[in-house]
Amino acid sequence: MDPSPLDKLLGDYRDRPLPQAPQNLRENVWREIRLRKNVSPTSAFDFAEFLVWVRQQMGILVAPALALALLVSIGWTEAIHQTAPAPNIQQALGLQVFSHQSSALTRLIP
């Protein structure tokens, strides 16, 4: 069975030796730890993180608000539909031209 190109590539990566770590790795790690230890808690919250938090909260609030607006609009449409008089079938089909009540002139004719 012929191995796939991905399997061959992964095998090549597996056979390669690990790269050597930089010589000053330990000093760099400890320097970063010291720098982060001296950061005050108030400076940890910058404006970008606050905006991300606000965007997440707005995402949580927008979906229920849209659902509520949809329900209110459907309910309002139903309420208006219930209070409006139902159209006559002749009016709905546009058949009032054949009715004796279609115009005032036809009422004058005996």
Instruction: State pLDDT tens for residues 73-93.
Output: 998 888 877 765 656 665 666
Contact 105, 99 (CB under 8 A): no
93 lies in some domain = no
64 lies in some domain = yes
46 lies in some domain = no
Total count of domains within the chain: 1
**pLDDT tens-digit map of 46-79:** 777 777 888 888 878 888 899 999 999 998 888 8
Sorted by sequence, the CB contacts under 8 Å of residue 107 that are 6+ apart come out as: 100, 101
* Angle, CA of 101, 105 and 108, to the nearest 5°: 90
Contact 96, 102 (CB under 8 A): yes
Flag whether the pTM goes above 0.75: no
104 lies in some domain = no
